[in-house]
Structure 1
Amino acid sequence: MDHLVTHGTFSLDGGSWEVDNNVWIVGDGAEVVVVDPAHDASAVFAAVSGRRVSAILLSHGHDDHIRAVAEFQELTGAPVHLHPRDQMLWQTVYPAAALPLALADGDVFALGTGSSQLAVLHTPGHSPGSCCFYSAELGAVFTGDTLFQHGPGATGRSYSDFPTIIESIRDTLFSLPPDTVVYPGHGDSTTIGGEIPQLADWIARGR
């Protein structure tokens, strides 16, 4: 697995913020999938290092995660996958482009040429179509903006909902093994077991 951090902006509801995004490249020496190739398509393409990109997986449709996707797809020829409930966010950035291929809960993507896989977990709340990508073989889950170290993703903007994100985290992500490593869309990694004890405090604070 390769990781890089890219820098750009996130814009929604009339505001714009500077953000650093995590980009995750998962596979082997021949073939990879790329999770959220944000901001800088050329930098992500360089990190791929000549390997075949079998899929571009989008955790959700916010513009910081998808604005560089069209360019990255041109560089790689890889198919783009997004949950259909985030189509309205995609069309805000790409009003004339074709919609990505639809992600669905339970879809599975091969990681490289071996037996490892990523399974799609639909985890709405941060956005209606937010998804996480879980690999039992790697003991890893790529959570986009659903779960960070020390808290859930933001729910104070359009199309988001705090009770829904808490339900997604409690019922879906917290059912994973406690030692599963959480690789989020922003910030540092954590583990499922490290976040479970904080659930009651998140709910009390209404984060």
Structure 2
Amino acid sequence: MPNPLVPRIEHLVTSGSFDLDGGSWQVDNNVWLVGDDSEVLVIDAAHDADAIAAAVGARRLVAIVCTHAHNDHIDAAPALAERTGAPVLLHPDDLPLWKQTHPDRDPDQPLTDGQRLTVAGAELTVLHTPGHSPGAVCLYAPALGTLFSGDTLFCGGPGATGRSYSHFPTIIDSIRDRLLTLPPGTVVRTGHGDPTTIGAEAPHLDEWIARGH
């Protein structure tokens, strides 16, 4: 039987639209929960507050952490916060994007580079990784051997940089300097799609640069 007081990672997939620059695309988003049987933290409250609240259950929701402020990662955050009383955390550089989705409701607390979040005895360090968006962050949990990468790093390469508020050279710098320096066995749990590892992605950096996403 698993220990109810040992931190664990839970995974939920929700579906909805990603809307930016006048376009709209249907997407599946990964919602990550880190916690134990008594408390939990949600990473990216996407699309479906009811489904996320059901996954949280009777546990105390410590915080709703946004890896960035594209609408598909934050659209359910205010509703989930209202239901649970948990604060919404976002890097302030992404506030202009946040306001496109929630013009009348600000995030509750800022995320800062190097900040440490604790849940169920597990520590997650905030890494500011701009490029996909100005305020994009990843969360590194060394004790869990895991990086929650949002849309900064995927299985197969960096996040998209072809739309407003994004910049390809910046995301490459973020990945090279902040992520690929982590232990190779670190599991990368992404904002969309399948997980990967730092060791699987690191050899392809030069290919990504040559492609110039």
Q: Let me know the Cα RMSD of the aligned residues.
A: 0.7
Residue by residue, what CA displacement relative to the aligned partner does 1:38-71 show, whole Å, maximum 9, x if unpaired? Answer: 0000001101121111011000000001111111
Within-5 A mapping of 1:55-70: 55-70=63-78
Aligned to 1:183: 189
- Whole-Å separation in 1 of the counterparts to 2:62 and 2:90: 15
- Whole-Å separation in 1 of the counterparts to 2:119 and 2:129: 21
Please identify runs of 4+ aligned residues in structure 1 that moved more than 2 A. none
- Whole-Å separation in 2 of the counterparts to 1:60 and 1:127: 7
Structure 2: gaps (5+ residues):
1-8
Q: Per the alignment, in what secondary structure is the counterpart of residue 175 of structure 1?
A: coil
Residue 126 in structure 1 maps to residue 147 in structure 2: no
Structure 1: gaps (5+ residues):
none
The farther-off stretch of 66-75 and 8-17 is 66-75
Q: Per the alignment, in what secondary structure is the counterpart of residue 80 of structure 2?
A: helix
Within-5 A mapping of 1:1-207: 1-112=9-120, 114=121, 116-207=122-213
- Whole-Å separation in 2 of the counterparts to 1:129 and 1:123: 7
Residue by residue, what CA displacement relative to the aligned partner does 1:141-164 show, whole Å, maximum 9, x if unpaired? Answer: 000000000010000000000000
Question: How many residues align structurally?
Answer: 205
TM-score, normalised with respect to structure 2: 0.95
User: Once the two structures are aligned, what percentage of the paired residues are identical?
Assistant: 60
- Whole-Å separation in 2 of the counterparts to 1:182 and 1:111: 19
- Whole-Å separation in 2 of the counterparts to 1:92 and 1:100: 17
* C-alpha displacement of 1:97: 1.4
- Whole-Å separation in 2 of the counterparts to 1:188 and 1:11: 22
Query: Which amino acid letter does the alignment assign opposite residue 99 of structure 1?
Result: P
Q: Per the alignment, in what secondary structure is the counterpart of residue 177 of structure 1?
A: coil
- Whole-Å separation in 2 of the counterparts to 1:60 and 1:71: 17
